[in-house]
Amino acid sequence: MIASEALLRASCGLLGLFGLLRGAQWLADLPRWAAGGALGWDLQGLRRGIKGRSALLARTYAPTGLRILAILLMLDSALLLTLPLGAITLALLAAALVLILLLGQRSIPDGADKMATIVASGALLQALGVMAGNHTLVLAGGLWTGGQLTIAYFAAGASKLVLADWRSGVAPRGALSSYMWGSKLSAWGVSKSGAAFVLGWTVMLLETLFPLALLLPAPWLMVVLAGFFLFHAVIALVMGLNTYPWAFLAAYPATIWLGQALRAALALG
């Protein structure tokens, strides 16, 4: 059985990798979010609701505020990646949670932002539990992150299964032959007879059946997760969604922990 501390350390390190990449990408793209531009907060702040009315957010989302947020996320992530577990981990995880949330809300948060938010909050609960010697909190944190990852894969598969266009292969062919979501290679691949159909069913079945993998012994669960990481890497290559592999990878240690806890609870060895 892999110890909670080791898995928590891995979560922190992997979240750090995601944060470094996310922060660096924000810094590289800052000119597009400048005031006076299409995505400047002077215009985007006109949206309805709390976000648009908050004077604090207006300052935070001004170019200088955004730059500070991105730099802070990179610094925080570098420390999460390098420092051993300790009391400071709590502060670093709390800061990562706030920074990822704030930067995500500046735009429309994508799945990677949402998963990273979940990893940060779950790891925070687990770290609190480890520091305080409270197993219930460790359980809550592991269940939150591992549970959300399991729901994510299951829902991604099941919601495709109920759509006729996915079952027939029309949807994967459409997505992978577009410029927006595909590439030259994927368009060529799905143009072959039956390829989109087989690909679609492979993805749907693997995703829908993922919850069963939690019942596997840890080494086998790790093999399954390695396969899913490869899947994310291929998606990054084909669709350009390059932050997803790191955000989802950061949720794997908690998922391994959850699998172990589930097997122990069910007396599976």
Q: Which of residues 221-240 bind other proteins (CB under 8 A)?
A: 233, 236-240
CB 113, min distance to other proteins, A: 8
Helix/strand/coil for 151: helix
Binds other proteins (CB under 8 A): choice among 6, 107, 220, 227:
107
Q: Which of 130, 33, 145 is nearest to 89 (CA)?
A: 130
Give how far the C-alpha of residue 14 lies from the chain's centroid of Cα atoms, to the nearest Å.
Answer: 11
The footprint of other proteins on this chain (CB under 8 A) covers a number of residues equal to 75
- Site residues (CB under 8 A) for other proteins, limited to 57-86: none
From the list 63, 5, 9, 54, the residue with the least C-alpha distance to 250 is 9
Q: Which CA distances in Å does 153 have to 61, 104, 165, 224?
A: 32, 21, 19, 12
Q: How far is the CB of 181 from other proteins (least distance, A)?
A: 6
Among 148, 208, 255, 260, binds other proteins (CB under 8 A): 148
144 binds other proteins (CB under 8 A): yes
| CA-wise closest residue to 93 among 18, 201, 167, 205 | 18
Euclidean distance between CA atoms 250 and 23, whole angstroms: 16
Residue 131 is a binding residue for other proteins (CB under 8 A): no
For residue 105, CA distances in Å to 31, 145, 177 come to 18, 20, 30
Per CB under 8 A, does 137 bind other proteins?
yes
Half-sphere exposure of 72 (CA within 13 A, CB side): 20
Task: Please say whether the beta carbons of 26 and 107 come within 8 A.
Answer: no
Among 17, 65, 81, 105, indicate the residue that binds other proteins (CB under 8 A).
105
From the CB of residue 51, how many other CB atoms can be counted at a distance below 10 Å? 15
Q: Which is nearer to other proteins, 216 or 233 (CB)?
A: 233
Which of 32, 64, 226, 264 touches other proteins by CB under 8 A? 32
Instruction: Select 158 or 212, whichever has its Cβ closest to other proteins.
Output: 158
Q: How far is the CB of 11 from other proteins (least distance, A)?
A: 16
Q: What are the angstrom distances between the C-alpha of 171 and each of 99, 176, 257?
A: 35, 8, 35
Q: How far is the CB of 114 from other proteins (least distance, A)?
A: 4
Asked if 98 interacts with other proteins (CB under 8 A), we say no
* Other Cβ atoms closer than 10 A to 223: 12
Among 88, 158, 230, 264, binds other proteins (CB under 8 A): 158
Identified binder of other proteins from the candidate list 3, 155, 209, 230, rule CB under 8 A: 155
Q: Tell me the two tokens of residue 157.
A: 């598969």
Asked if 16 interacts with other proteins (CB under 8 A), we say: no
Task: Tell the smallest beta-carbon distance from residue 248 to other proteins (Å).
Answer: 11
- By the rule CB under 8 A, 28 interacts with other proteins: yes
Q: Of 3-11, 42-50, 55-63, 74-82, which part binds other proteins (CB under 8 A)?
A: 42-50
